[in-house]
Structure 1
Amino acid sequence: MNGVQTEQLVDGVIRVVAPNPSPMTGAGTNSYVVGKSHCAIIDPGVDDADHLDALVAAAPGKIVAILITHAHPDHTGGAHRLAERLNIPIHAYPLELQGVRDKDFAAHRPLYHGDVIDLDTVCLEAIHTPGHAADHLCFFWRDAGLLFAGDTVMADVTVVILPPDGDMSAYMQSLEHLQALPIERIAPGHGRLLEDAPGVLAHIVAHRRERETQVWEALTADEPAIPEQIALRLYPDLDVRLQPMAAAQVEAHLIRLVELGDAHQSGSGWMKTAT
């Protein structure tokens, strides 16, 4: 349909890629049609007529709900138009973000950690996974071992953690929570289906710990450093468009180092805590 990328990943799951490619979204935001006789749309993506038409056309049964992983515009832009078109509710975690968010978005029904969405042949468990965003939910199809991860996990790229809504300590805790679940495969908010979920999660945790060490090693006990300086050192070849994001990512690590007692803030900069 007019170049819209649609693919059946497994029985009961169809991925439709939104037409919003960018350095931040990769090929585009993944929307998922989940279920058979009754279906839910996870993250409708952008408000694009062809994309929304493709979601409706892909559903093998009646679409009964829209599920939102988090209220960033690339995930929620088409939610209200689709809900009005199909006369169905939007479900999301009831927390308003303070930073980057879709200011026009509002859910009809709250979803909390542990809530279950019953689609007859598919049951999805809502898992609150703050970190990338404070309102973030993943959806776990336990019988299939499949996690719809939103932006808690992305394929082949690092998830951005942007304060104030992004929280590195919360993100690490969310990853540990996911590691304790019997997840076999991950359907991320951006990119390909990830087959080795335990390996993917272990790699992300190891990478975050390594980056945390690098940020700490970039600090000194005598002169404050700012996130932008550290980011340029750690990401010397980064696309200039992404440098502000890299600095914010470093700041998220610095905030966590303060929480761990390994750093402190001095004026507008950050210093290593003397041991």
Structure 2
Amino acid sequence: MTKWIERMMTVIDGNQLKIIRVPIPTPTLLPHFTTNGYLIGNENESILVDAGYDQPETRTELDEALKRNGIAIPHAIILTHSHPDHAPGVRQLMDWNPVIYCHQNEKQATLSAISPVDKVSFLNDGDVMHVGGEEIQVIHAPGHTAGQLNLYIPSMEILVAGDNIVAEGTSWIGPPDGNMSDYLSTLYRLKELKMKKIGPGHGGWIEKPYEHIEFVIQRRLLRENQIVSLLKQHQKLTSVDLTNMIYQELPHPSVYEVARRTTEAHLIKLIKEGSVTKQDSIFLLKE
């Protein structure tokens, strides 16, 4: 039942624009079973945000959504980031002849993810696109990855957030792509937008955007405080030690590695801020 509900297509109508959340089956991390693609447009023109995994189901789900909602074939695909459940699906869609966009910071990772497709164009913070008579603002929103892109539609007060926000739980943030300092800065920035809804990278529409962003911020600060407290208590710990102490209840063993990397991202932030130091593989509070 959970999988079926998560795959239900949802449509938001504006005056000139439809925003269609298309859950695309992907081998992503629990508790999610799909990655959201977003069709934004009308019968005359549209764009796609994120293309899912490289498998035939990607094309099937998107074709069904286009047909059911009377949406034009997308002329552009905007990749929020290069991870394998968001980008490689463009290989299934190249007969659309789309322009593929990413952020400059994500260029090499994106080209690697979508190979043999070998051409991408770039969007930068503050760029503006127009689709179906509506303005779409581009936000460079690093944290989950260095080149993470978000889209904001001011007339509808909707943010398409990629993996900066997920519907259940929180995104993992960690090396080699993620940066916890950048991520928290991004969350504070996103919270300043005027929003009615957030379209997350995974899961259903988020109807209480400010409460949800604040929940994510507080979760990250809680983890940081836990790390500091544990280092005070035990003096010297590895990132594995800390992960085992903090994440005692995980939804599945498959998410342990991203939990460990998230712990490392917090440690890197604390080292940068001068409160923690590292000796070989051991972390300790700085005197």
TM-score with structure 1 setting the length: 0.91
Partners in 1 of 2:8 and 2:182 — Cα distance?
33
> What does 1:131-146 align with in structure 2 at a 5 Å threshold?
131-146=143-158
Deviations, residues 33-54 of structure 1 (Å, cap 9, x unaligned) = 1111211011011122232133
| Pairing 1:263–2:265 present | no
The percentage of counterpart residues that share the same residue type is 29
Aligned length: 271
| Pairing 1:123–2:129 present | no
Deviations, residues 217-274 of structure 1 (Å, cap 9, x unaligned) = 1114984311111111011122322222111111100111112221111121110122
Deviations, residues 82-129 of structure 1 (Å, cap 9, x unaligned) = 1x2111210111224788972636552111111112112332211011
Question: Mind listing any 5+ residue stretches in structure 1 that lack a counterpart?
Answer: none
Equivalent residue, structure 2, for 1:247:
260
Partners in 2 of 1:178 and 1:190 — Cα distance?
18
TM-aligned CA distance change 1:151 to 1:81, over 3 Å: same
Q: 1:9 aligns with which of 8, 11, 20?
A: 11
Equivalent residue, structure 2, for 1:273:
286
Question: Mind listing any 5+ residue stretches in structure 2 that lack a counterpart?
Answer: none
Deviations, residues 135-186 of structure 1 (Å, cap 9, x unaligned) = 1000111111111100000012111012121000000010111111112210
| Pairing 1:165–2:177 present | yes
| Pairing 1:66–2:77 present | yes
| Pairing 1:32–2:38 present | yes
Runs of 4+ more than 6 Å apart: 97-101
Equivalent residue, structure 1, for 2:86:
75
Partners in 2 of 1:128 and 1:55 — Cα distance?
26
Contact 2:54–2:89, Cα closer than 8 Å, also in 1: yes
Partners in 1 of 2:23 and 2:156 — Cα distance?
22
- Mean alpha-carbon deviation: is it higher for 54-63 or for 167-176? 54-63
| Pairing 1:93–2:103 present | yes
Partners in 1 of 2:272 and 2:35 — Cα distance?
33
TM-aligned CA distance change 1:102 to 1:133, over 3 Å: same
**Larger proportion of helix:** 2
Deviations, residues 186-205 of structure 1 (Å, cap 9, x unaligned) = 00010010011111111111
Contact 1:33–1:39, Cα closer than 8 Å, also in 2: yes
TM-aligned CA distance change 1:54 to 1:103, over 3 Å: closer
- Mean alpha-carbon deviation: is it higher for 199-208 or for 48-57? 48-57
TM-aligned CA distance change 1:237 to 1:57, over 3 Å: closer
TM-score with structure 2 setting the length: 0.87
- Mean alpha-carbon deviation: is it higher for 206-215 or for 5-14? 5-14
SS in 2 for 1:73: coil
Partners in 1 of 2:146 and 2:270 — Cα distance?
19
SS in 2 for 1:14: strand
Q: 2:199 aligns with which of 187, 207, 232?
A: 187
SS in 2 for 1:29: strand
TM-aligned CA distance change 1:200 to 1:250, over 3 Å: same
